[in-house]
Structure 1
Amino acid sequence: MSRFLLSLSLCLLLAGCAGGLKINREHPSANHSSRVQYVVVHYTSTGVERSLQLLTQGSVSSHYLIDAAPATVYQLVDEDRRAWHAGDSQWRGRTWLNASSIGIELVNEGYRDGADGRQWQPYSEAQISALIALLKDIVLRHHLPIDSIIGHSDIAPQRKVDPGPLFPWKRLADAGLIRWPDAHQVAALQPGFAQRLPDALWFQQQLAEVGYSIAFSGEFDEQTRNVLAAFQMKYRPVRYDGQVDSETAALLASLTQQ
């Protein structure tokens, strides 16, 4: 081939590449679903300006940020993209949940440690109302089943405590977004557990059934106490010391029997 023809062929090849690949999209498959399996709720531990800076310019990110006053919803990452909010995490056997979740950060300082002990910071009514509206929209669009909404402390109980004991999980249950232990069933089960508490393996198995990552050590070890504390903070926030008792056992049994 002459140098001219070779040059012409290369030019035509490059021109074809420059024109872009043509893709036929006339045969879409019906066999697919959303990449989103869970929605993870966090608090930011700081104010809105610092939160926006960290979540847009730092090494972490979330899909949404909700301010408290006024209750403004910011979308920071497209839902089709992965945000860096979950870290080392696990829920119901799924690991590293950044790939399969939407992250929502609530502007909230978390807690302050002082002379009177740890003081958790409350959420505003408008902020929670905005969150519930956003969650309902996400659940509808991604066809998520109940219990797809979880906290950072659920998926990383050995290292995280957000969204904390003042986060109103019961409000989400009342909105039909998560399951909740049946109060009558808990009251009926508690006397039996008060007579005799199950062993450590039972608690570990029940916590795993709910969705937590926990080793079946058969001992009330540190990892078990951390998971118990995360569970209690969510379903019995008045006391979350990580110690077993009849009420915690009844709450677990009520959830796993639903």
Structure 2
Amino acid sequence: MAKNITSIALAMCLTLPLIGCVSTTEPRYIIDSQTYQATGKSERIKTIILHYTVGDNARSLKQLTTGNVSSHYLILNEDDDKIYNLVPESERAWHAGDGGFAGRTILNDTSIGIEIVNNGIDPKYRNALKNAALKAEVQGYHPYKHYVEFEEIQIKKVAQLVQDLALRYDISPKNIIGHADMAPSRKIDPGAKFPWQRLYEQYGIGAWYNQQDKQLFMNQDKFEAATIPEIKQAFREYGYQINDSDEWDKASHDVIYAFQLHFSPQHLTATMDLETYAVLKALNKKYAGTDDFY
């Protein structure tokens, strides 16, 4: 009887090798990551995307820890020493959604998301664009005064965090962006009162234009001579996704507004004008050829 059982077991190992009858005499191979290293590589993280939460601390925490959205980091509006890491940097957070920037789409795969607790639009203005007169006055877009200020402690935390991330991942200044920059028809965060210029000047974070270059391009004749396709191509050169139609349609105005939120927040016309043109040209002059598309 014992002999029969042994024969059956041996037959099973011969005919079904995948069920666990692996020889213990097979050598174990090691992974060698030291002897050779490729030079054709780069960091997976290419972009830092900043958001506001449109809610208070409790609502923001609940949404970002139990809902279908998440971010790598959360900055509350409390005066403490905490920056909350909600998703490991090695993992994919669900913060960006549809859109793109600098030739890349599906930015959740290659970005770090930072959420900042802030109401975004002041509640008293939340429904202002339903007012026909105001909507016509501001072209259907919120003006600067509708946005809520960030707390000073939040700006300092953002500065520390983004400086560290940009250094560790060697992120291009152009690729430190707002949610609106990569999804202009869906999002307007981190809004007009996020201090992009201050972060650049005080902490060396992100991109900003040279004032001298802006003045150089403040030439009415050059602006009037520029065609719509030429101006849209200038937006693409900087990184924005914009259609190739020969008109300033709604989607194109959304891109202009997102650009102004970032670089001309007190000049939110949502229309292509001389100042916006000059800033765009100045940015392209300063940052031409600084993207790594690999």
> TM-score, normalization: structure 2?
0.79
| C-alpha spacing 1:62/1:90, structure 2 compared with 1 (3 Å) | same
- 1:90-139, Cα deviation, whole Å (9 max, x unpaired): 01111110000000000111113437956311101111111111011111
1:41 is matched with 50
Structure-2 separation of matches of 1:74 and 1:128: 15
Letter in 2 for 1:132: A
Q: Take 2:200 and 2:125, find their aligned partners in 1: how far apart are those partners? A: 35
2: CA distance, partners of 1:215 / 1:56: 35
- 2:94 aligned with 1:66: no
Stretches of structure 2 that go unaligned for 5 or more consecutive residues are: 1-5, 129-141, 287-294
Write out per-residue CA displacement over residues 4-38 of structure 1, whole angstroms, 9 at most, x where no aligned residue. 32467779963869xxx956222343343321000
For residues 33 and 153 of structure 2, the distance between their equivalents in structure 1, rounded to whole angstroms, comes to 45
Percent sequence identity over aligned pairs? 36
- Aligned runs of 1:1-258 on 2, under 5 Å? 2-6=7-11, 14=20, 24-28=30-34, 29-31=37-39, 32-71=41-80, 72-114=82-124, 117=128, 119-174=146-201, 175-193=203-221, 196=224, 198-258=226-286
CA distance in 2, matches of 1:126, 1:197: 45
**Counterpart of 1:45 in 2: which secondary structure?**
coil
Stretch moving more, 238-247 or 77-86: 238-247
Structure 1 stretch displaced more, 165-174 or 142-151: 142-151
Q: Which has the higher strand share?
A: 1
Q: Mind listing any 5+ residue stretches in structure 1 that lack a counterpart?
A: none
State the distance in 1 between where 2:171 and 2:63 align: 29
- How many Å separate the matches in 2 of 1:181 and 1:27? 42
> Which structure would you say has the larger Rg?
2
Normalization by structure 1: what TM-score?
Answer: 0.89
- Following the alignment from structure 2 to structure 1, what is the Cα–Cα distance between the partners of residues 249 and 28? 59
CA distance in 2, matches of 1:143, 1:115: 39
Q: For 1:11 and 1:218, how far apart are their aligned partners in 2?
A: 65
Query: Hey, what's the Cα distance between the residues in 1 that align with 2:212 and 2:226?
Result: 20
Separation in structure 1 between the aligned mates of residue 42 and residue 199 of structure 2, nearest angstrom: 24
Q: Decide whether aligned partners of structure 1 residues 235 and 115 sit closer, same or farther in structure 2, where only a CA change above 3 A counts.
A: closer
SS in 1 for 2:218: helix
Rate the CA distance shift 1:199–1:88 in 2: closer, same or farther, 3 A: same
The separation in 2 between residues aligned to 1:76 and 1:145, in whole angstroms, is 24
